[in-house]
Amino acid sequence: MSDLVTPRSFDPPRRRPVAASFQARDHLGVQVTCELRSPTLIAVVKDQCTGCSEFIAQQAIIPIEVVVVTESSAASQNYSVLLAPEFIADLEARFAPIYLVVSGTPLEVVGEGTIFSAAQVATEIAPWLSP
């Protein structure tokens, strides 16, 4: 047996509606409107988070659209991600770092969990992407 342990999220998904668009500020402070489509992975990150840094650097391995948001001005600038505290509150996304898989018409949260790495998130979301 291996001594290596693969981190895994244990958050049960709570289905709830998600707005099809939201307002945010980019890392330069410019107001932007983000349009969401099905399926999308929303990653909520925080500042000074090793898993968040790794996730952002490796997010290309996620097989669906990824939108990265934060409640922290410092994290927005450090990671060049969207500052969207109101949207995060509307999502009821608690305890960053967290991911949410949104899908369907209308959009709703179909899966969620804690972010440890991009590879871990890709593995965990696979069942929600299967037809």
- For the segment 31-44, the average pLDDT, to the nearest whole number, is 97
Residue length of the chain: 131
Domains of the chain: 21-129 (3.40.30.10)
pLDDT at res. 131: 63
Q: DSSP string spanning 17-50?
A: B--SEEEEE-TTS-EEEEE--SSEEEEEE-SS-H
Highest mean pLDDT among 8-12, 118-122, 124-128: 118-122
> What pLDDT is stored for residue 129 in this prediction?
84
- d(CA 9, CA 30) in angstroms, rounded, equals 33
pLDDT for 95: 87
